[in-house]
Amino acid sequence: MRCSLFLIAWSAAAFARADFLLVPESATVAAGGRIEVTLFLPNDSAEERSFDLPARLTLRARGRSDAPVVVLEATEAQPAQVRLAPGAFHRARYAGTLPEGMVGEIVLEPVDFQGPPLAFSASAPEVSPSGESPPSAAAQATSAPQIPAPAAALDRDAARFASAFSPYEPNYFSAGSHGPTNARYQISFKFRFFNPETKTPFLEKIFLGYSQTSIWDLSSSSKPFRDSSYRPSLFFLDDTVSQWPFRRSKLGFQGGFEHESNGKDGTASRSINIAFVRPTLTFPLEGDYFISASPKIYNYLDKQENPDIAEYRGYVDLLVKIGETDGLQFASTLRKGTRSEAYSFQLDVSYPLKRPTFGNLGGYLHLQYFNGYGESLIDYNRRVLPQIRIGLMITR
């Protein structure tokens, strides 16, 4: 149990700060025996990305520069590079021999590649009653596969569970003022119900989404939250329906249902239910630059608490992005209500902080500008002062 908790905690921490996750096939490995690992490579960004796959993994015990290296070779044919759609993941298996002197809870760190450490427990080699040593690593490799220990299965289940989560809308925290000082933050993720091995491809594209956007009043003495919007949703998402209308372009499609409310009661309560479709057309430009247009077209299924909301919000949210895949990006969202003067415009500018200049920080520098009606649900029919905020964007 202690070993399993050690592996789960270490794997979760490594997954949170690395591009991929290494999970041992067995919770305990015998020193001098065969070690097998699975590499889980997720694309947690909002764009399609390419990843290089190492042909071998070279690792060394943490804190011991004189320790022997552990070389793990790919156990099956694999491409040198994979291209993953947003929310997708790839896995590859590696195996090698653990040096005989390694015993205890081991943390192996990569030597010749950028990636997370590998944590597991190494036991001393068993000796049979006759005094004979256990089979060699080569003999173990050719023998019948062993049934993984329950702890190893638990580790793999945890990895599969984690790989089903991915960012949905941007995650950020930014503060500023035009009037009272305030902060605005958003938490957004989606969960894939069915894993990619399902025999029905349609099912693996069904997601449960959740987004929360809050405005925090920092100027008042009690620092209250002015309003929050909670948006659970259920939808179908295919990021690459076709390469239309040009060969290098990409057409994606999303459609489903969304509930939005501010969690209040009485006269302050606001809520809507909508059905929506969202095509997304992306055009590649020179180099790694791109431009995309993504209109979210919806119809109100229920708006009893705010029956005139369409006059201020309308029926379409138009999102346009332009920039470099791993560089500076601009994202603008425009809404136009049925009233002539009712509109809202939001501009989000982001720049990656994973640069030597910034100490290879995680996330993105975030600048946000908002002008118009309905920055929060409670203010859907009220125009607010233009807001300018700066902060940290975690995913975009």
- The answer to whether residue 137 scores a pLDDT higher than 70 is no
| Whether residue 253 is found in the same domain as residue 353 | yes
| pLDDT interval class at 243 (50, 70, 90) | low
| Whether residue 223 is found in the same domain as residue 247 | yes
Among 7-11, 199-203, 261-265, 376-380, name the one with the lowest average pLDDT. 7-11
| Whether residue 251 is found in the same domain as residue 296 | yes
- Its domain, for residue 72, covers 2-162
| Whether residue 290 is found in the same domain as residue 198 | yes
Q: How many residues does the chain have?
A: 396
The more confident residue out of 3 and 47 is 47
| Whether residue 39 is found in the same domain as residue 150 | yes
Q: Tell me, what's the pLDDT at 107?
A: 80
Q: Tell me, what's the pLDDT at 23?
A: 80
| pLDDT interval class at 8 (50, 70, 90) | very low
Q: Tell me, what's the pLDDT at 148?
A: 46
The more confident residue out of 39 and 257 is 257
Among 47-61, 71-85, 117-131, 204-218, name the one with the lowest average pLDDT. 117-131
Q: Tell me, what's the pLDDT at 10?
A: 41
| Whether residue 47 is found in the same domain as residue 93 | yes
| Whether residue 155 is found in the same domain as residue 169 | no
Q: Tell me, what's the pLDDT at 139?
A: 43
Tokens representing residue 164 in the block: 């089903």
Q: Tell me, what's the pLDDT at 19?
A: 62
What CATH code is carried by the domain that includes residue 245?
2.40.230.10
Collect all residues with Cβ–Cβ distance below 8 Å to 214 and sequence separation of at least 6: 184, 185, 186, 225, 227, 228, 229
Domain count, the chain: 2
Among 75-79, 276-280, 344-348, name the one with the lowest average pLDDT. 75-79
| Whether residue 214 is found in the same domain as residue 234 | yes
| Whether residue 98 is found in the same domain as residue 188 | no
| pLDDT interval class at 246 (50, 70, 90) | low
Q: Tell me, what's the pLDDT at 17?
A: 37
| Whether residue 43 is found in the same domain as residue 133 | yes
Taking CA atoms, 69 is separated from 72, 94, 96, 98, 114, in Å, by: 10, 15, 11, 9, 16
Q: 16-30, 118-132, 282-296, 351-365: which has the highest mean pLDDT? A: 282-296
| Whether residue 338 is found in the same domain as residue 261 | yes
- 166-199 pLDDT, tens digit per residue, is 899 999 999 998 778 999 999 999 999 887 666 7
Which of these three, 162, 185, 211, is where a domain ends?
A: 162
Helix axes 2-17, 150-163, angle to 10 degrees: 20
Q: Tell me, what's the pLDDT at 5?
A: 42
Q: Tell me, what's the pLDDT at 179?
A: 78
Closest of 22, 34, 27, 39 to residue 76, by C-alpha: 39
- The answer to whether residue 285 scores a pLDDT higher than 60 is yes
Q: Are 69 and 111 in contact (CB under 8 A)?
A: yes
Q: What is the mean pLDDT of residues 38-66?
A: 77
| Whether residue 287 is found in the same domain as residue 348 | yes
What CATH code is carried by the domain that includes residue 103?
2.60.40.10
| pLDDT interval class at 112 (50, 70, 90) | low
| pLDDT interval class at 217 (50, 70, 90) | very high
| pLDDT interval class at 349 (50, 70, 90) | very high
- The answer to whether residue 14 scores a pLDDT higher than 70 is no
Q: 229-243, 244-258, 338-352: which has the highest mean pLDDT? A: 338-352
| pLDDT interval class at 150 (50, 70, 90) | low
- The answer to whether residue 146 scores a pLDDT higher than 50 is no
Share above pLDDT 90 across residues of the chain, in percent, rounded to a whole number? 43
- The answer to whether residue 307 scores a pLDDT higher than 60 is yes
The secondary structure of 260-278 as a DSSP string is: EE-S--GGG--EEEEEEEE
Which of these three, 134, 162, 190, is where a domain ends?
A: 162
- The answer to whether residue 297 scores a pLDDT higher than 80 is yes
Q: Tell me, what's the pLDDT at 126?
A: 55
Q: ∠ at Cα 334 (331, 338), nearest 5°?
A: 170
Which of these three, 162, 190, 214, is where a domain ends?
A: 162
| pLDDT interval class at 134 (50, 70, 90) | low
End-to-end CA distance of the chain: 38
Q: Is the model's pTM score more than 0.85?
A: no
Q: Tell me, what's the pLDDT at 13?
A: 40
Q: How many CB atoms lie within 10 A of CB 374?
A: 22
The secondary structure of 328-376 as a DSSP string is: -EEEEEEEE-SSTT-EEEEEEEEEE--SGGGTS-SSEEEEEEEEEE-SS
